[in-house]
Structure 1
């Protein structure tokens, strides 16, 4: 699992949103620590509420930015941090951290870059009376909001909105997007997502060597009822269907895979952005392969 350090300077509302998804399992990363540059940042209290180690580094206590960042880097190295996520961190990242974490420092910006870079982007968009703005997640480089863009979302502006209303809509879009992009980046750092196969068969002849082959090809196996027992008896690692649906198999096994967590995982059109957005919001993981055989109707009816 990817170890993430969150950097913040203020209240930490985006930090709280990230933790919500970590704790409900939809964002499978480990938040190793919170780094702040403001002693009174409320994000520190949020970290304590969630038992996340938090570290305050006072920039004025160091001779220069390089010394300041080397002190932070020492903590990150001790905690084996893989990815830095800037969540309202109001300080430019310098060469020390950029060199240590190339394309591994993410920032959330409340505008559709390259439109409205800088610290007052929402206000700048409002004053410019544009018809749309957005949010951007990008990797950090030495410039001002100029690093490689990972993902963006547009937001149409209602002319009746005042500045406060616009801010609320931008922040809502931030909450929706940021954790999903962190998830994608973390998955890419771990390597390709593990493929999953659903195996549920009546005729179990040659089942074990077949599934062993799938496991050797990198598949995670989901299974049901008697198929699951046969695989486990052979010493193979299997995820029970109830772990996917969060619902027990019922009616002598007649109802076990009839669930959105299964059918959504199968029927999502992966090049359809709306489908993918829904599957991410619902925390559903794809199923890549299904292995079944026909139910033995004649033999069952005779019984």
Structure 2
């Protein structure tokens, strides 16, 4: 396979961490540039797999921020055995502090709501099973926090149960592409916090896998993630709503409401972005004049 081929070409290949499945998605490119060594990082929710890349819907975040670079290097040093896991500056990793970070962010929203402030949580995941996180979301709902969840697969939380989860709503979207991205949003007193993650909220991911939770701090990227979440929650053709009894009902356009298919909308946005990028890269001709002037 590819691993053996890479080893034959001199590449150091590490086959995961003993006792844990490595499920994090991270790539570092290190370049020697005029100003010195520069690291470029790619954090993702999807596998580096050319087959699933055509079938899955995922999120990528690229940055050359020094703090992310230090974290990425520390992470690789840890999983390759060159050092023990270090305290990260930006990211969180499972099975180290990822669950604790999620619980902390949910608790912050709960406390803010109890103090009379606005509080809101939104998340897009494949599965929600972890008991501690479910209990924290129930507590947030009982405090009055609005919680909107997009859980494509297994969801052990029951939304809309009086006195327990009145303020929680859950949808599931199944369409042309397999929904695979994990996106987290916390209002955080107006200083909105957004994350992407390789991990679902399941005990297997948080306790028995190597996973990453990555904050997205770039303003434009944060706006894009919020737009993606909003697009999914507007779906009224491929979305199903989870009911308090564990059943699902299809969402349909309301009277005088046009049908809206989230994957189609995001697909068209992506196509338009590619079209504009190609248009901006078109070759132009700049003639030289006899008098040395350029037009």
Q: Give the TM-score taking structure 2 as reference length.
A: 0.22
Q: Give the TM-score taking structure 1 as reference length.
A: 0.21
Which structure features the higher share of strand residues? Answer: 2
Which structure features the higher share of helix residues? Answer: 1
Higher relative CO (Cα under 8 Å, sequence separation at least 6) belongs to 2
Larger Rg: 1
